[in-house]
Amino acid sequence: MLYYEKSGDSYKNDASHDYFFVTKEGRSNPQLEWDNSILAIKDRRKVGQLKKEFQCAFPARYELIIKKNPKLKESRDCPEFNEWKNEIGAKEIYLVYASSYVSNPASMFGHSFLRFSRGGKKRSDSLLDYSVGFMALTNPDDNAIMYSVKGIVGGYIGHFDIKPFYMQVGLYQNAEDRDLWEYKLPLSTQEVDLVIKHMWEVSRNTGFPYYFFDENCSYYVIKLIEAVNKNWNITNKRSYIFAHPIETLKWVKKRKGLLERQHFESINKVLRRRISQMSKDEKKDFKKAKSNLEVLKKIKSIAVLDALIDYWKFENYDKKTILTKKEHALMDTTFSMRAQSRNRLKDEKTILKERGQDPQFFHDPNKLTLGLSQTSGESVELEGTYALGYHGLIDNPRGHDDFSYIDYFSFSFKLKKSFKIKRVKLIEINSHAPFYWELPKLSWRFNSYYDNEKIVLRKKNSVLEGGLGLTLFISERSFQYSFVNIQNRIHSRGVRLLPEFRTGLKLVFNNFIINPEYSLIELNSKERHSAKSDFAYYWNENNGVIGYLKNTVGDSQQFEFGMKYRIYL
């Protein structure tokens, strides 16, 4: 419960405040802290930041000590703690996972927190529950570089943040276009009670260093459970360098199991589905009625009004209720007009039917790809790629929402007569935000890598590439995309800026993917065309086969094909 970590023959503790301990020396000496805790109980000493008697400041620790020393038990009135505990009223605990945020691929790792359920079975009941997350206290004056550096090296302190669950729904499901997935944790009534008591201890007395890639939001909500039940022991047995929220969800599933699951789609996802099922005239009315009060007052279609309600819910949350006078009038009129009609859409159940990929089935982050390839005029060679993460266009689609893609820290090699590094990738990001004329949103991409293949410039070069484009979904999981990019290629003789046009399809059929793509680059007033098609099939979460065909036409023509096996580690 005090988050000690063994360091050689001694102990260390990353708690940010000494209030968390009865004595300062107890930070590095568990036995001394235990002995002084017993003395504090006997002496009725005031401890902790709130300066309360031990059982009121540290109720979970007190319960643990009393189990081993029952003679120390005395009745004490702790009004502040009891009022707080009764207000939370937890009977069950759910692990909540917020999926990625459309247009922000960095959020693909997700976010996780806990919901303290009072036992209600309806969605309206859960909105009144409390939730707890581990959040970094950042400095608003830090620029993007300082923010990134501090986040990586633990320069921010994180604290457990308790708030009503409806506020989390408003932020993630409504304002940030993220689905919420809830999983009931297999905890007994006594364990739930002990978690709440321990929550009081940490939330009132300390914080911990926050690391974006490791000891982050998901790591500490799991540590909170581990603190009251040593048999969980999940974070100490992880096998990955990074502790992404989606990975901790799978750790819990693997080690302890997850009970009942609930899924709640984002407002924007439902809104996009409503628009896709409208007639052409309804789509025109929706687009105009968003900004024209006179057009809005003439709307008769229930489908348009329902879509406008979802639209204004999102706008209101996204803008933190700070709407203009005109926007308020449009929103209020929309709700008033819809309230006057009791009719419901015939296909409302179809629109609201649960969709989405359960993140607990997402593949493991690290991946190794090995296989054979052949380039025209050359013999067969062995090639492979190892990546620390995370998810690209032809990775296993199960458990992924299809909007955001991010791959990082990988290197590709080939082996024929000698070993050769083909490419070292720092990061590749693809954001495929669905584009609707009624809800226009651009897609974007960024890529940074070292190119040793000498195909484009005939020399080794480092590449920074970025672009904007459009993504049109042609089904729930398949889409067409087009980008206009600029490649900045840095080599020994200088820098080259190359314009590029890229277009392609991603077609998903259960666990089978086809990804044909065409690109055009202008180089030295000449055009270089490249057409390729990747395809992949996965027979379970962590194993699959990948094939590709590629034809490049420029100063010369080059055809390449290959077949590889991919395993996620």
Task: Label residue 377 exposed, middle or buried (CB < 10 Å: 0-12, 13-18, 19+).
Answer: exposed
Task: Label residue 560 exposed, middle or buried (CB < 10 Å: 0-12, 13-18, 19+).
Answer: middle
CB 165 within 8 A of CB 127: yes
Q: In the prediction, which pLDDT does 459 show? A: 65
Q: DSSP letter string over 402-426?
A: SSEEEEEEEEEEEESSSEEEEEEEE
**Cα–Cα distance for residue pair 448/487, rounded to 1 Å:** 10
Half-sphere exposure at residue 168, Cβ-oriented, CA atoms within 13 angstroms: 30
Pick from 392, 346, 369: nearest CA to 515: 392
CA distances from 69 to 74, 76, 387 (A): 11, 16, 52
CB 447 within 8 A of CB 466: yes
Q: In the prediction, which pLDDT does 144 show? A: 67
User: Which DSSP category does 9 fall into?
Assistant: T
The token pair at 163 is 């708030």
Pick from 238, 169, 201: nearest CA to 65: 201
Identify residue 332 by its one-letter amino acid code. D
Q: In the prediction, which pLDDT does 446 show? A: 92
Which ranges in the chain are annotated with CATH 2.40.160.40?
363-568
Q: pLDDT tens digit string along 321-372?
A: 899 999 999 999 999 999 988 777 766 666 666 667 888 889 988 999 999 9
Q: In the prediction, which pLDDT does 279 show? A: 93
The token pair at 207 is 């914080």
**Cα–Cα distance for residue pair 247/213, rounded to 1 Å:** 11
The token pair at 325 is 């006078």
Q: In the prediction, which pLDDT does 461 show? A: 80
The token pair at 203 is 């939330």
Bridge partners of residue 318, in order along the sequence: none
Q: In the prediction, which pLDDT does 249 show? A: 85
Task: Report the chain (569 residues): mean pLDDT per 10 consecutive residues.
Answer: 82 89 90 93 92 94 92 89 95 92 71 93 90 88 78 87 93 89 92 94 92 84 85 69 79 79 89 91 95 94 93 91 94 93 70 73 92 90 91 92 88 88 90 92 92 66 92 93 92 84 95 96 82 96 95 81 95
CB 168 within 8 A of CB 96: yes
Look up the pTM and report it.
0.88
**Cα–Cα distance for residue pair 553/543, rounded to 1 Å:** 33
CB 264 within 8 A of CB 166: no
The H-or-E segment that residue 92 falls in is strand 92-98
Q: In the prediction, which pLDDT does 401 show? A: 83
Q: Determine if residue 119 is left, alpha or beta; phi over 0 gives left, psi from -120 to 50 gives alpha, anything else beta.
A: left
Q: In the prediction, which pLDDT does 385 show? A: 95
The token pair at 432 is 């495929």
Q: Which CATH architecture has domain 363-568?
A: Beta Barrel (2.40)
Q: In the prediction, which pLDDT does 223 show? A: 87
Q: pLDDT tens digit string along 519-544?
A: 998 877 778 889 999 999 999 989 99
